[in-house]
Amino acid sequence: MKPLKSLLTLALAGLLTFSLNTKWGSIPPLGKFMDPFQGFWKNAESKTTSSEREFALDGLKAEVSVQFDDQRIPHIFADNNHDLYYTQGYLTAKDRLWQMDFQTRFAAGRLSEVIGPKALELDRFQRRMGMSYGAENMTRAMMADPEIAEIMQAYADGVNAYINSLKPGEYPIEFKILDYKPEAWTPLNSALLLKLMSATLASGSNEFYMSNILNKYGNEVVADLFPDYPYREDPIVPKGTKWQFNALKIPKAPEGNPVIGNATIKTKEKEEGIGSNNWALSASKTSTGYPMLANDPHLDLTLPAIWYQVQLVNPSMNVCGVSIPGAPGVIIGFNQKVAWGVTNVASDVLDWYQVQFKDKSHQTYLYNNEWKPVKTRVETIQVRGGETVSDTVYYTHHGPVVYLQNQKPKDFAKANNIPEGYALRWIAHDESNDVRTFYMLNKANNYDDYRKALTYFTAPAQNFLFASIDNDIAITPNGYFPLKWKTQGKFLLDGGNPANDWQGRIPAEQNPTVKNPPRGFVSSANQFSTDPTYPYYLNWEFSGYERGHRINKRLTVMTKATVDSLRNLQNDNYSILAENILSTLVSGVDQTKLNAEEKKAFSLVSKWNKFYDAKEIGASIFEIWQKQVQKEIWDDEFGGKNSPMRYPSRDRTVQLLLAEPTSKWYDNTNTPQKETKNDILLKSFKFSVDSLKRGYGPMSDQWQWANVKHTHVPHLAKIAGFGTKTLFNGGSKTSVNATSESNGPSWRMIIALGKDLKAYGVYPGGESGNPGSFYYDDMVNTWSEGRLNELVYLRSKKESSERIISTWKITKK
């Protein structure tokens, strides 16, 4: 009896220990996690840190010194490229290892390995989109360039030196929550992170929707409602700029209508997710007598911060700015001579080609009246706590057939705009050496260096803004732009017709560009790159012109600009959309049909100053109102009940509201009676007041725009408690400060060039990726309040700054 009892209690102790050492569903292994020696408590960083440290690392060629400023931003001093990037890798891993690991897994379609079957469809999607295939091609091109290969390898070695120094108790907290280990870093991982930028910024695709619209409404309606140049525009390269080159011959469009797709999957309204701005002023317009440059790239905001600030110094460079955690060099920044910044170019670099396979074996497909062989790529996905899944993807010369007929998963939002049976031609699959562009910009001394650097850049295409101490300013929408016939890729394409293929590229030096224009400034805000005189086709639709127009208007009248005047412009909440349509909306409302509360709201919105400031109730009313107006006008025709479609652009809606008061599109085709424009305006206004009431109670401070907008920065893996609280700030998608719920300026930077260079910046996060660090979100409030931090920029190792709080000496082992 006693032995049995003994064995039972022993088994109980064993079982208890075992179950607390095991991950159950999404619950971390609690014993392991709560253990104060090696579990999450160990990630709680002390407020006080030692100021001096000296240690040795394998793999360094000489001694490296690192100075940390009061925001824990490292300033790295090395003797050569190898040691510089090695140390950048080491320090970035120290602060951001889990973020780097997780994003790489996300990009490569390897999340199932750590979070199990629920990530399987996402992994399959990433692989079918060819993310790894593209990253492999990119790695091949980078490693063929000896100078870049050395940088990539040194960075990876530095990351690995850090990983190898870790004991399990020192892993970042998310590894402990998800219960897995970091794995060795390779240049391919860096490439995957760069590909992720293409996936975020250059994977938009409307052709599936557009083909469905063309199919239903025909050419005339498409030309009317989805025109190839907007009603209102203020292009990046100023109107009337002359093109200084002889353009290549434009390929001829094939005869007849493009291929029509059809499918029965419902889609969601496409959200405009990008709102980046940048501009540079020539010396004639600044108070310093030197150019100034400002940039705020907008992205989906997450913690740990998207960017990682760093200063990199060796005998051939001294560059400062933000890097992508996981990739070497500085992406947006400055040195003593030049500064540069980027915003996204919405050029069409992603097309869909209908593929006709010979038979169900998918071994050959029809191209130019011949059967061409298909290449297959077998993707193997290891699922945690489950079996290993393999997935065969068929590649044509265009690219991968993302989903074969009837292969598309249901209820998987990411796949909504993807047509079945079509091959994907995407610039992100091509070999590219984009890291070289940034490497050369980091070392650039002047305008010529800038122009040379840009020729190496492929994707995602960016408006590269530039300013130099020699008083040159310039902007170049730049990347690999395929040479296309006009509107090629606006609709789905027939993959069997060679005339539909990309016919090479626009020569890099013929990409749109402007240097030192007479107006004394250059700027961009994702709008059209040029006026219609540019000989090549880039895309039929770009982001709305509102932000760009506001920036240009304000810069035109700006004289003796200071850092503060540029900072104010970055935080400008004025809405050109409201300027364009508010009075039209207001004048269309029959006030006799409003109840008391609606009258109060109407009076508020009529008097609203058109600034989306945090405390404006008028902004809340207008925002919901104008969105509902768009929905009321278009949803009956373009809601995509049977086949996915999209609405005409905001620009086209504005044109309709201002210039076509009796258009047939106002009528709701789902009702017997005939609706007019004013019916829609009244109904939408009532909807706006009603939805605010439902969401926030009777009119009160709760209706203030910041409460309705609800800006916050979530954690990358959406772990509760690891994001920010709701931030009380202003901004809108049609304001320069394009801050929305969790999308906004991921980095704000202003550089005043000159002998006494001054640099300012902030991002919504902190340098550390550890939620248990005081430097995890220490810049969030500064960011939310629209202020900037002065950046520490050391001219040399010897230069002292009172903001340096800690120094590391890293010797070679």
List contacts with another protein (CB under 8 A): 2-3, 5-6, 9-10, 12-14, 16-17, 20-21, 30-32, 34-48, 168, 173, 177, 719-722, 771-774
Rank residues 644 and 771 by Cβ distance to another protein and give the closer one.
Answer: 771
Q: 205: helix, coil or strand?
A: coil
Rank residues 9 and 257 by Cβ distance to another protein and give the closer one.
Answer: 9
552: its two tokens: 């240009």
Cβ neighbours of residue 214 closer than 8 Å, sequence gap 6 or more: 222, 257, 258, 260, 491
Whether omega before 304 lies within 30 degrees of 0, making that bond cis, reads: yes
CB of 167 to another protein, least distance (A): 9
CA within 13 Å, CB half, 285: 24
Rank residues 672 and 721 by Cβ distance to another protein and give the closer one.
Answer: 721
Among residues 546, 676, 682, which one has the least CA distance to residue 232? Answer: 546
Rank residues 94 and 451 by Cβ distance to another protein and give the closer one.
Answer: 94
Residue that is written with structure tokens 């982001």 in the block: 543
- Give the Cα separation of 116 and 104 in Å (integer): 16
Rank residues 376 and 726 by Cβ distance to another protein and give the closer one.
Answer: 726
Q: 600 exposed, middle or buried (CB, 10 Å; 0-12, 13-18, 19+)?
A: middle
CB of 808 to another protein, least distance (A): 21
369: its two tokens: 């009246």
Rank residues 32 and 709 by Cβ distance to another protein and give the closer one.
Answer: 32
CB of 707 to another protein, least distance (A): 19
Rank residues 22 and 215 by Cβ distance to another protein and give the closer one.
Answer: 22
Among residues 521, 107, 123, 109, which one has the least CA distance to residue 286? Answer: 521
CB of 772 to another protein, least distance (A): 3
CB of 778 to another protein, least distance (A): 11
DSSP 519-567: TSEEEESSS-SS-TTSSS---S--S-SHHHHHHHHHHHH--SB-HHHHH
445: its two tokens: 């001394």
Rank residues 167 and 249 by Cβ distance to another protein and give the closer one.
Answer: 167
Residue that is written with structure tokens 């040379």 in the block: 452
CB of 27 to another protein, least distance (A): 9
Neighbours of 100 (CB within 10 A): 28
CB of 7 to another protein, least distance (A): 8
Rank residues 45 and 145 by Cβ distance to another protein and give the closer one.
Answer: 45
CB of 195 to another protein, least distance (A): 30
Whether omega before 172 lies within 30 degrees of 0, making that bond cis, reads: no
Give the angle subtended at the CA of 60 by the CAs of 55 and 65, to the nearest 5°: 55
Which residues, listed in sequence order, are joined to residue 466 by a DSSP beta bridge?
A: 340, 474
What are residue 390's phi and psi, to 5 degrees? -115, 150
Whether omega before 460 lies within 30 degrees of 0, making that bond cis, reads: yes
- Give the Cα separation of 715 and 645 in Å (integer): 32
Q: Is there a contact between 554 and 572 (Cβ–Cβ < 8 Å)?
A: yes
Rank residues 29 and 328 by Cβ distance to another protein and give the closer one.
Answer: 29
Rank residues 33 and 185 by Cβ distance to another protein and give the closer one.
Answer: 33
Which residues, listed in sequence order, are joined to residue 475 by a DSSP beta bridge?
A: 465, 514
Rank residues 35 and 449 by Cβ distance to another protein and give the closer one.
Answer: 35
Q: In which order are the strands placed within the sheet that holds 521-524? A: 521-524, 277-281, 292-296, 748-752, 758-762, 789-790
CB of 48 to another protein, least distance (A): 7
* Gyration radius of the chain's alpha carbons: 28
* The one-letter amino acid at 482: P
144: its two tokens: 């063929």
CB of 505 to another protein, least distance (A): 48
Rank residues 167 and 360 by Cβ distance to another protein and give the closer one.
Answer: 167
Q: Is there a contact between 356 and 365 (Cβ–Cβ < 8 Å)?
A: yes
Cβ neighbours of residue 418 closer than 8 Å, sequence gap 6 or more: 205, 208, 352, 402, 403, 408
CB of 17 to another protein, least distance (A): 4
Rank residues 13 and 144 by Cβ distance to another protein and give the closer one.
Answer: 13
Q: 516 exposed, middle or buried (CB, 10 Å; 0-12, 13-18, 19+)?
A: middle
DSSP type of residue 692: H
Where are the alpha helices (H) located in 165-252, listed in sequence order?
A: 173-178, 187-201, 207-225
Rank residues 89 and 172 by Cβ distance to another protein and give the closer one.
Answer: 172
CB of 45 to another protein, least distance (A): 6
Q: 579 exposed, middle or buried (CB, 10 Å; 0-12, 13-18, 19+)?
A: middle
Rank residues 149 and 717 by Cβ distance to another protein and give the closer one.
Answer: 717
CB of 777 to another protein, least distance (A): 10
Rank residues 12 and 247 by Cβ distance to another protein and give the closer one.
Answer: 12
CB of 21 to another protein, least distance (A): 6
CB of 178 to another protein, least distance (A): 12
- Give the Cα separation of 656 and 676 in Å (integer): 12
* The one-letter amino acid at 71: Q
Rank residues 378 and 720 by Cβ distance to another protein and give the closer one.
Answer: 720
CB of 268 to another protein, least distance (A): 29
Q: Is there a contact between 38 and 168 (Cβ–Cβ < 8 Å)?
A: yes
DSSP type of residue 684: H
- Give the Cα separation of 554 and 551 in Å (integer): 5
CB of 743 to another protein, least distance (A): 23
Which residues, listed in sequence order, are joined to residue 317 by a DSSP beta bridge?
A: 314
The region that residue 155 occupies, defined by phi over 0 for left and psi between -120 and 50 for alpha, beta otherwise, is alpha
Q: 240: helix, coil or strand?
A: coil
